[in-house]
Amino acid sequence: MAEFTLYVVNGSCSFASHAALEHAGADYEAIPVDFQNEEQRSEKYLAVNPKGRVPALVSGDGILTESPAILAYIAQKFPEANLAPLNDPWLFGQMQSFNAYLCATVHVAHAHKFRGYRWAKEQSSFDDMQANVPRTMTECFQLIESEMLKGPWVLGDTFSVADFYLVTMSRWLEFDEVDTRLLPAVMDHRARMHELPAVKAVAVSGG
């Protein structure tokens, strides 16, 4: 039995945690959750994650949900993988600030395209949300481009789990109809991340 079990959905934000585990060399198993058949609402899955979402990480320490928490946990659990500035509280805080922005703002903007039922009930509201996604996602990523992505990595010369989280969301840009020509630094980051063995491995596995 693997030391860690990660519940994932292809193309979702679970990609970041999946790639981080792979990069760290963790002993893990990735288990797909079939959202199309609403497996996330099943009694079995809700016993793992009552929120009915992914990712969810099952470990010997317990169960963690929410990408920023899981990513920070992986970084601290595998310090030899150098996935976070563990000895620099300020830089670690910057990493967490970036990850929180992706989780609380960017992911929500993206979700308006196809998860409008979380916030509204009328079709007209869904249509309005969907129509706004290219604008809101462009604004989010222009802020990342101009103010938050230090380069070559999110934290400058320090590679971290924030880079796995960023590439997870930058992979959504075309789907969200964002003009990627406006984001040269983000796209350069995405291209370099796609060359990493862990990212390649998870992409191939459909994680």
The string of pLDDT tens digits covering residues 67-88 is 999 999 999 999 999 999 999 9
Give me the phi and psi of 37, to 5 degrees please.
Answer: -100, 20
d(CA 169, CA 4): 24
CB neighbours of 83 closer than 8 A, spacing ≥ 6? 20, 23, 24, 71, 74, 75, 159, 160, 161
If you average pLDDT over every residue of the chain, what do you get?
A: 96
Is the pTM higher than 0.75? The answer reads: yes
Please tell me whether residue 63 adopts helix, strand or coil conformation: strand
The string of pLDDT tens digits covering residues 117-155 is 889 899 999 899 999 999 999 999 999 999 999 999 999
Q: Which domains does the chain have, with CATH numbers?
A: 4-82+201-205 (3.40.30.10), 89-196 (1.20.1050.10)
